[in-house]
């Protein structure tokens, strides 16, 4: 009896999102100033260097620093310790107003000329 029901589930899963990559809609863009709201780097403010929409992550300048030990590539060359910014999930960051020094949620509104822009809810500051 269980196999009869499972056939329907497997047929529905065949056209799932595994074949095509999913791009998540993110509330932040490259170049935005954001504040980390949870995790080890909570409270840090930085600029977004890169967005990764397929995994819904962002890379922020000076946040979530990792060290990597790199082996020497050629003979006679010495190894190095490289620091780099690792990705952080986009839900752990909030847009930050540099003028009023406050983090805020984002809302979408239209300007007088009909253009859709992002606006900070706390301050009313237009970002785009």
Domain span at 89 = 21-99
Q: Give yes or no for residue 7 having a pLDDT over 80.
A: no
Identify the pLDDT of residue 66.
97
Q: Residue 87 belongs to a domain with what CATH number?
A: 2.30.30.30
Number of domains in the chain: 1
Q: Is residue 10 part of a domain?
A: no
Print burial letters for 88-116: b (CB count within 10 Å at least 16), e (below 16): bebebbbbbbeeeeebbeeeeeeeeeeee
Position 82 in a domain: yes
Assess if residue 95 is contained within a domain: yes
- Tell me whether residue 16 is in a domain: no
| 46/36 Cα distance (integer angstroms) | 8
Checking if the pLDDT of 17 tops 70, the result is no
Would you say residue 4 lies in a domain? no
Most confident of 23-27, 74-78, 105-109: 105-109
Is residue 128 over pLDDT 70? yes
Evaluate whether residue 40 is within a structural domain.
yes
């Amino acid at each position: 009896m269980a196999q009869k029901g499972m056939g329907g589930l497997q047929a529905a899963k065949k056209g799932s999102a595994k074949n095509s990559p999913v791009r998540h809609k993110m509330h932040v863009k490259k170049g935005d100033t954001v504040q980390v709201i949870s995790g080890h780097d909570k409270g840090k403010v930085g600029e977004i260097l890169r967005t990764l929409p397929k995994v819904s992550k962002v890379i922020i300048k000076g946040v979530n620093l990792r060290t990597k030990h790199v082996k020497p590539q050629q003979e006679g060359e010495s190894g190095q310790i490289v620091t780099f910014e690792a990705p952080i999930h986009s839900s752990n960051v909030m847009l930050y107003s540099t003028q009023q020094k406050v983090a805020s949620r984002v809302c979408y509104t239209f300007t007088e000329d009909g253009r859709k822009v992002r606006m900070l809810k706390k301050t009313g500051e237009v970002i785009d």
